[in-house]
Amino acid sequence: MLSMNTNEIIIDKDSSSIQISNKITAIQRKSYNYMLKIAKNEFKKNPEKQVFTVTAEELLVFFEIGDQNYSRLKNELEVLNRTQIRYNILKKNRKSKVFGAFTLISEFEYERGIITYSFPLKIRDMILNPKMFGKINLVVIKSLRSRYSIALYELAEDYLNAQIPKMTIEDFRELMGLEEGQYYKFSMFKKYVIDVAVNEINDRENINFTITYELKKIGQKITHIKFIVHKKENTNQTAEKEKNGILHNPNTIQK
- Assign residue 160 the CATH number of its domain: 1.10.10.10
Q: How many domains are there within the chain?
A: 1
More confident residue, 115 or 89: 115
* Full residue range of the structural domain in which residue 96 is found: 10-254
- State in Å, rounded, how far the first CA of the chain is from the last one: 51
Q: What type of residue is 175?
A: L
Asked if residue 181 belongs to a domain, the reply is yes
Is residue 206 a contact partner of residue 244, using CB atoms and an 8 Å limit? no
In this prediction, residue 241 carries a pLDDT of 45
Given a cut of 60, whether residue 89 has pLDDT beyond it is yes
Asked if residue 3 belongs to a domain, the reply is no
Asked if residue 5 belongs to a domain, the reply is no
Q: Residue 92: CB partners within 8 Å, gap ≥ 6?
A: 15, 16, 19, 132, 158, 159
Q: What is the chain's percent helix, strand, coil content, to nearest 5? A: 40, 25, 35
Given a cut of 70, whether residue 254 has pLDDT beyond it is no
Asked if residue 4 belongs to a domain, the reply is no
- Strands in 209-218's sheet, in edge-to-edge order, are 167-168, 221-231, 209-218, 252-254
Asked if residue 214 belongs to a domain, the reply is yes
- Rounded to the nearest integer, the mean pLDDT of the chain is 86
User: What distance lies between CA 146 and its chain's CA centroid?
Assistant: 10
How many percent of the chain have pLDDT more than 70?
86
In this prediction, residue 236 carries a pLDDT of 47
In this prediction, residue 70 carries a pLDDT of 85
Strand-strand pairing, 133-137 and 10-14: antiparallel
Region 198-220: what's the mean pLDDT? 96
Region 53-68: what's the mean pLDDT? 84
